[in-house]
Amino acid sequence: MKSATAWLALLALVSSHVGIANAVPAKKEELPKGPGSKAVTDEILDAIAEEMNRAMTALEIPNNPKPYHISYKVTEVDVNDAAASLGQTTSKRNRHFVNLEARVRVQIAPTLDNGNFSVPQAEEIDAVVAINLPVESNARIARRAAWLVTDGAYKEALIQLRAKLEHRRASGARVSDVPAWTTEKAMVSEEPVLVPVLEPLDELEARAKAISAGFRDHPQIRDSRVALTSYLERRWYITTEGTSVTDTRRASGVVIAASGQSDDGQPLAQYFLRYGHTAKDLPADDELKAESKKLVDTITALQKAPMIERYSGPVLFEGEGAVGLLRFALAPHLGGTPVPEGLNPQEAKQFGGALTDKIGLRVLAPNLTIVDDPTARDGGGKALIGGYKIDDEGVRAQRVEVVKDGTLKTLLTSRTPSAKGMTSNGHARRTAEGGAFHGSATNMFVSGKTTVSRAALKAKLIATARAEGLKYGLIIRRFDDAAITAAPEFSRRELVQLIKSTDQQIPPPAVLAYRVLPNGKEELVRGVQLAEVPIRAWKDVLGVSKETTTYNFLAATEGQLNLRLTGGTDDGFVPSGGIESGIVTPDLLLKEIDVQPASTGALPSPILPKPGK
């Protein structure tokens, strides 16, 4: 199943990011706000609420439970996108759409409802039904749409509940005393949240063309593109508990992607990605042109760089490298929502779960503290886009201290608890099989009690490697993001083979990695693939830097391998699927990480050189 969030993100091509190790500091001055929604009016919302009340009162199939909770999410997305390659536009468009999503819950006891269960062979039955609303709707259309989605979701909820009962009986699951769904206070916040207007398409197009022209004189670059996006998403939640809230998210972003090929045929991809609340948070054109040049230089250097050999030892994750490690190897474990029932162990791995039942225990190096704060708009002096006022279950966003001095204090929770007494802390953001929202990271702040300079951390890497008898240590400065870099280079046969033979749970390859020799010299290497990073590796963090990196990204709902094989956003748009997230982190030196050469294979070199002018 593709979650509603993922669907929106894919359609809207919205996304993440705003990285910013070296971006322009967020401006304090506020831009003028644009108007509220013209598509979703009080009349529309009243019509939906009226239909909700009618369903709550009267919707019942004899001999089956009635709904005990109905909720609606109305989402309006307005996005301007422009992309260019070699100075010429490849796409330029606005998309504006509205959809209505209904969720219905039925129960046979407070500890047993239909939620968070993936129906075997029918995962699409999850008591969530959505429909598009016109951008120029009226009460008649909205009421009819609400009627249909509520009816559909109710029928699915009944099937889901029955299947869950069957599953529990067949698997011999113990009767739990954990409530199926937490009780939360109803919230009313109906004042529109106004945000600055979108940057106009012509402006995005002009920038994309100007920056992408920088790749024209580089025959070693196989493909390149620059895309800019400007996006807003308005949301309204209405529930039978009396919650009626609205919120708006706004982001602008830029992506620069380029590819090449090593002398032995390995595809090489590099990217630069930044997001902010508006274009004012993004680097200026000159800086983006300089970043484009860096990508060219890196690809040129990688063409001749050696492949990594197998390696097991200390790795320094620097800048975006530290962000990537947290994103792929720790953040998935911070959710406190139980893994959906009905999944096989391989499928369940995507939900992390390594920290469940470890509250109160030391799980990280004692030097580390992690706070997740969706109420933050900035971090490290730069914009963060992972924030919101209300989460996807209508619960107010809350700052949460997850790990204090290495000890797990709590997890990021939604309204589906994993332990008795647990309540939501406003982190319901990710949907998955089974229809439940899962608690997940939003704006994640990692800090060290004791920090050293970046140079000192590198010296410690060298010393540790030497002490272990290694010829070199390893620094990783960036992981791949297939949503951005993937290109459809594979044939149908190759696609099938790769899907069959690749472990989908390992982190994506590191695209910027260096061997650090005892004398401190760095050598660029390619093909760096981390093996699975076990949660225990986080107990052996040898050092933390003073310098921090602020970076925004999408927590993709699609696996990196899938994105790579299907071409990611090769159509030229800004990526991708997933939920907006931000990380502020120092560099991290981990004691022992296993690395292997990437097995993504080689392509024959092109028969002809790239055409000239």
Partner 1 sequence: MRWIFLLGAAAGLLGCPGNGGTPTAKPDPKPPLLTAEIKLELPSIPSKIETTKSQPTENNAPGKRSPILDIMKAETERQMAALRKQKDPAHYLAYQLVEQRVVSLEAEGGALITDSDDTARNLDVEVRVGDPMLDSTRDLASDDNGLNSPLTRRGVVPFGEDKLAISNAMWLETDRRYREAVTALGYVRQDQSTLSKRATAPDFAPQPTPEVYVEAPVTLAFDKQQWVDRLKRCSAKALKGTATRGTCGVVFQQNTAWFVNSEGSQIQLSWTNAQMSVSVGVKAEDGMSLSRLEQRFGRQPGDLPADADVDKMIATVTSELDALHDAPLAEPYVGPAILEGRAAGVFFHEVFGHRIEGHRQKDKTGGQTFASYVGKDIAPEWLSVYDDPMIVTLNGMQLNGFYRFDDEGVRAQKVPLIDRGKLVGFVMGRNPIKGFMTSNGHGRRSPGLPPVARQGNLVVEVDKSVPRADLEKLLVEEIKKQRRPYGMIFTDISGGFTNTSAFAPQAFKVNPVMAYKLFPDGKRELVRGIDISGTPLVALQSIRAASREVETFNGVCGAESGWVPVSASSPSLLLEKLEIEKGFVPPDRPPVLQPPSIRKEAP
Contact positions with partner 1 (CB under 8 A) in 416-445: 431, 435
Q: Which stretch binds partner 1 (CB under 8 A): 145-153, 311-319, 454-462, 592-600?
A: 145-153
Among positions 291-350, residues that touch partner 1 (CB under 8 A) are none
Is residue 353 a contact partner of residue 333, using CB atoms and an 8 Å limit? yes
Least Cβ distance, residue 63 to partner 1 (angstroms):
13
Site size toward partner 1 (CB under 8 A) is 77
| Interaction between residue 132 and partner 1 (CB under 8 A) | yes
Instruction: Retrieve residue 53's tokens.
Output: 């009340």
Q: Which stretch binds partner 1 (CB under 8 A): 293-301, 330-338, 539-547, 567-575?
A: 567-575
Among positions 169-228, residues that touch partner 1 (CB under 8 A) are 216, 222-223
Least Cβ distance, residue 76 to partner 1 (angstroms):
14
- H-helix or E-strand containing 345? helix 345-348
Q: Which is nearer to partner 1, 128 or 441 (CB)?
A: 128
Rounded Cα distance between 315 and 520, Å, is: 14
Q: Which is nearer to partner 1, 3 or 581 (CB)?
A: 3
Burial category of 587 from C-beta neighbours within 10 Å (exposed 0-12, middle 13-18, buried 19 and up) = buried
Say how far residue 409 (Cα) sits from the centre of its chain.
23
Least Cβ distance, residue 524 to partner 1 (angstroms):
25
| Interaction between residue 604 and partner 1 (CB under 8 A) | yes
Is residue 227 a contact partner of residue 573, using CB atoms and an 8 Å limit? yes
Rounded Cα distance between 389 and 89, Å, is: 36
Q: Which stretch binds partner 1 (CB under 8 A): 249-257, 471-479, 485-493, 540-548?
A: 485-493
Rounded Cα distance between 9 and 554, Å, is: 9
Q: Which of 143, 274, 415, 564 binds partner 1 (CB under 8 A)?
A: 143
Q: Which is nearer to partner 1, 89 or 423 (CB)?
A: 89
Angle, alpha carbons 226-231-233 (nearest 5°)? 150
Q: Which stretch binds partner 1 (CB under 8 A): 68-76, 139-147, 384-392, 447-455?
A: 139-147
Q: Which is nearer to partner 1, 26 or 44 (CB)?
A: 44
| Interaction between residue 488 and partner 1 (CB under 8 A) | yes
Which are the contacts of 500, defined by CB distance < 8 A and separation ≥ 6?
Answer: none
Q: Which stretch binds partner 1 (CB under 8 A): 290-298, 356-364, 381-389, 604-612?
A: 604-612
Q: Which is nearer to partner 1, 295 or 544 (CB)?
A: 295
Is residue 271 a contact partner of residue 563, using CB atoms and an 8 Å limit? no
Least Cβ distance, residue 143 to partner 1 (angstroms):
4
What residues pair up with 530 in beta bridges, in sequence order?
Answer: 595
Is residue 246 a contact partner of residue 190, using CB atoms and an 8 Å limit? yes
Least Cβ distance, residue 68 to partner 1 (angstroms):
16
Least Cβ distance, residue 59 to partner 1 (angstroms):
6
Is residue 584 a contact partner of residue 376, using CB atoms and an 8 Å limit? no
Rounded Cα distance between 43 and 38, Å, is: 11
Backbone phi and psi for residue 473, each to the nearest 5 degrees, phi listed first = -105, 180
For strand 443-448 and strand 473-479, is the pairing parallel, antiparallel, or unpaired? unpaired
Is residue 74 a contact partner of residue 98, using CB atoms and an 8 Å limit? yes
Among positions 148-167, residues that touch partner 1 (CB under 8 A) are 148-149, 151-152, 154-156
| Interaction between residue 2 and partner 1 (CB under 8 A) | yes
Q: Which is nearer to partner 1, 208 or 365 (CB)?
A: 208
Conformational region of residue 538, where left means phi above 0, alpha means psi within -120 to 50, and beta covers everything else: alpha
Among positions 14-73, residues that touch partner 1 (CB under 8 A) are 50-51, 54-55, 58-61
Q: Which stretches within 105-228 are classed as H helix?
A: 139-171, 201-212
What residues pair up with 390 in beta bridges, in sequence order?
Answer: 396
| Interaction between residue 138 and partner 1 (CB under 8 A) | yes
Among positions 503-542, residues that touch partner 1 (CB under 8 A) are none
Rounded Cα distance between 242 and 526, Å, is: 55
Burial category of 56 from C-beta neighbours within 10 Å (exposed 0-12, middle 13-18, buried 19 and up) = middle
CA distances from 378 to 249, 371, 440 (A): 14, 14, 19
Start-to-end Cα distance in the chain: 46
Among positions 547-566, residues that touch partner 1 (CB under 8 A) are none
Least Cβ distance, residue 379 to partner 1 (angstroms):
32
Q: Which is nearer to partner 1, 23 or 44 (CB)?
A: 44
Rounded Cα distance between 403 and 380, Å, is: 19
Least Cβ distance, residue 478 to partner 1 (angstroms):
24
Length of the chain, in residues:
613
| Interaction between residue 1 and partner 1 (CB under 8 A) | yes
Among positions 380-399, residues that touch partner 1 (CB under 8 A) are none
| Interaction between residue 603 and partner 1 (CB under 8 A) | yes
Question: Which among 220, 178, 224, 228 is positioned nearest to 204, based on CA atoms?
Answer: 228
Conformational region of residue 406, where left means phi above 0, alpha means psi within -120 to 50, and beta covers everything else: left
| Interaction between residue 137 and partner 1 (CB under 8 A) | yes
Least Cβ distance, residue 105 to partner 1 (angstroms):
15
Q: Which of 28, 310, 492, 500 binds partner 1 (CB under 8 A)?
A: 492
Least Cβ distance, residue 374 to partner 1 (angstroms):
23
Q: Which is nearer to partner 1, 140 or 310 (CB)?
A: 140
Q: Which is nearer to partner 1, 99 or 418 (CB)?
A: 99
**3-class SS of residue 413:** coil
Least Cβ distance, residue 469 to partner 1 (angstroms):
43
| Interaction between residue 124 and partner 1 (CB under 8 A) | yes
Least Cβ distance, residue 73 to partner 1 (angstroms):
11
Question: Which among 112, 152, 108 is positioned nearest to 130, based on CA atoms?
Answer: 152
Rounded Cα distance between 328 and 321, Å, is: 11
Least Cβ distance, residue 306 to partner 1 (angstroms):
25
Q: Which of 572, 578, 582, 586 binds partner 1 (CB under 8 A)?
A: 572
Q: Which is nearer to partner 1, 381 or 601 (CB)?
A: 601
Among positions 72-101, residues that touch partner 1 (CB under 8 A) are 84-91, 93, 101
Q: Which is nearer to partner 1, 36 or 87 (CB)?
A: 87
- H-helix or E-strand containing 69? strand 67-85
Is residue 98 a contact partner of residue 236, using CB atoms and an 8 Å limit? no
Least Cβ distance, residue 535 to partner 1 (angstroms):
31
